[in-house]
């Protein structure tokens, strides 16, 4: 923020720790993300600084991009394209449509990026379909925030397995709550005055067996509900003597069963 003749002007500020490192041009990422890197820098110049500082800031981003191995013609082409888009977007905001119509939003199809293969999916692009890519290798795979691991019973969004102490019977379930909460419900169901069916309670009453409540196994941890259900169905299928009802696997296509059985 700059005060000049009783007016306030803005310029793009860089912290002392600014390293100038951005997505390298030769990295294993789709070209669209590299174009997005240039566009993001152009937006910072145009939207964060006074026009009097634009020239020096454009010189700055060109030097930064060159330092990240971007070809000069690639830099100038995409700076020019982004400036045109910014100007057109600004003009559109000032135009009021007299005959407005409902715009159909396109669907997005997202696939992992593998150079030489993923680009072929671009043929799917149309007015109603957009294709986007994401990188397989991410920093979080190598740099993790060091946190104390949660105790097993305090973990949530898990697929779990409860085994019988007296035979090879087992039950697989999933829960978004803390594991200890769900296990307590299974354990105490035998004392409830309810008509709700529970296969664990039935096994305890019919066979006189008890389950290993202190050693419940966590088979998977998945925050996404649909993915967690799929994981649950796969582990239900892989049980030797499963107590789960057939309805617990209704969402699993039969075509995948031979593959799961070979895992």
Residue 189 sits in a domain of what CATH number?
3.40.1440
Q: What is the mean predicted confidence (pLDDT) over 210-218?
A: 95
Q: What is the pLDDT of residue 96?
A: 47
| SS3 state at 112 | strand
Reply yes or no on whether the pLDDT at 139 is more than 70.
Answer: yes
Domain-located, residue 77: yes
pTM: 0.52
Tell me: do 199 and 228 sit in the same domain.
Answer: yes
56 lies in the same domain as 122: no
Q: Tell me how far CA of residue 33 lies from CA of 17, 42, 148, 167, in angstroms.
A: 24, 14, 34, 55
DSSP-assigned beta bridge partners for residue 160:
173, 218
Instruction: Please state, in angstroms and rounded to a whole number, the distance separating the CA atoms of residues 158 and 176.
Output: 7
115 and 34 assigned to the same domain: no
Which pLDDT band holds residue 4 (cuts at 50, 70, 90)? confident
Total of domains in the chain: 3
Domain assignment present for 244? yes
Same domain, residue pair 257 and 156: yes
The verdict on 123 and 180 lying in the same domain is no
pLDDT exceeds cutoff 80 at 127: no
User: Does residue 145 sit within a domain?
Assistant: no
The number of helices, as runs of H, and strands, as runs of E, in the chain is 7, 8
Q: What is the mean pLDDT of residues 195-224?
A: 92
The verdict on 131 and 160 lying in the same domain is: no
Q: How many CA atoms lie within 13 A of 201 on its CB side?
A: 16
Identify whether 95 is part of a domain. Answer: no
H helices of the chain, in order, are 31-48, 54-67, 72-93, 179-188, 199-207, 225-237, 257-262
Query: Does any domain span residue 120?
Result: yes
* Pair of tokens at residue 64: 């930064």
- Distance, in Å, from the CA atom of 39 to the CA atom of 37, rounded to the nearest integer, reads 5
The token duo for 238 is: 């892989």
Taking 3-state DSSP, the helix, strand and coil percentages for the chain, each rounded to the nearest 5, stand at: 45, 15, 40
**Residues 16 and 58 occupy one common structural domain:** yes
Asked whether residue 147 is domain-assigned, the answer is no
Assess whether 178 and 132 both reside in one domain.
no
Same domain, yes or no: 125 and 165: no
11 inside domain: yes
Output the pLDDT for position 259.
82
Residues 251 and 168 in one domain: yes
Lowest mean pLDDT among 103-117, 150-164, 178-192: 103-117
Query: Residue 165: inside a domain, yes or no?
Result: yes
Shared-domain flag, residues 156 and 255: yes
Most confident of 40-44, 96-100, 147-151: 40-44
Same domain assignment for residues 179 and 84: no
Q: What percent of the chain has pLDDT over 90?
A: 49
* Structural domain range at position 116: 107-138
Rounded to an integer, what is the distance from CA 236 to the centroid of its chain?
26
């Amino acid at each position: 923020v700059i005060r000049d003749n009783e007016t306030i002007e803005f310029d793009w500020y860089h912290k002392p720790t600014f390293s100038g490192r951005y997505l390298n041009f030769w990295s294993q990422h789709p070209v669209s993300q590299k174009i997005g890197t240039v566009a993001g820098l152009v937006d910072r110049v145009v939207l964060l600084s006074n026009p009097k500082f634009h020239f020096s800031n454009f010189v700055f981003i060109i030097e930064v991009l060159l330092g990240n191995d971007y070809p000069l013609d690639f830099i100038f082409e995409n700076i020019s394209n982004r400036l045109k888009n910014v100007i057109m977007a600004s003009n559109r905001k000032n135009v009021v449509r007299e005959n407005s119509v409902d715009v159909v939003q396109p669907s997005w199809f997202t696939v992992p990026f593998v150079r030489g293969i993923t680009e072929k999916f671009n043929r799917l692009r149309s007015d109603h379909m957009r294709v986007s890519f994401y990188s397989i290798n991410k920093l979080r795979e190598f740099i993790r925030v060091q946190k104390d691991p949660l105790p097993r019973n305090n973990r949530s969004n898990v697929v779990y397995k409860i085994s019988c102490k007296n035979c090879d019977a087992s039950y697989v379930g999933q829960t978004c709550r803390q594991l200890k909460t769900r296990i307590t419900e299974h354990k105490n169901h035998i004392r409830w005055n309810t008509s709700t069916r529970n296969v664990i309670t039935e096994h305890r009453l019919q066979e006189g067996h008890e389950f290993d409540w202190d050693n419940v196994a966590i088979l998977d941890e998945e925050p996404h509900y649909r993915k967690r259900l799929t994981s649950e169905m796969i582990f239900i299928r892989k049980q030797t003597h499963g107590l789960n009802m057939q309805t617990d696997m209704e969402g699993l296509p039969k075509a995948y069963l031979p593959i799961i059985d070979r895992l």
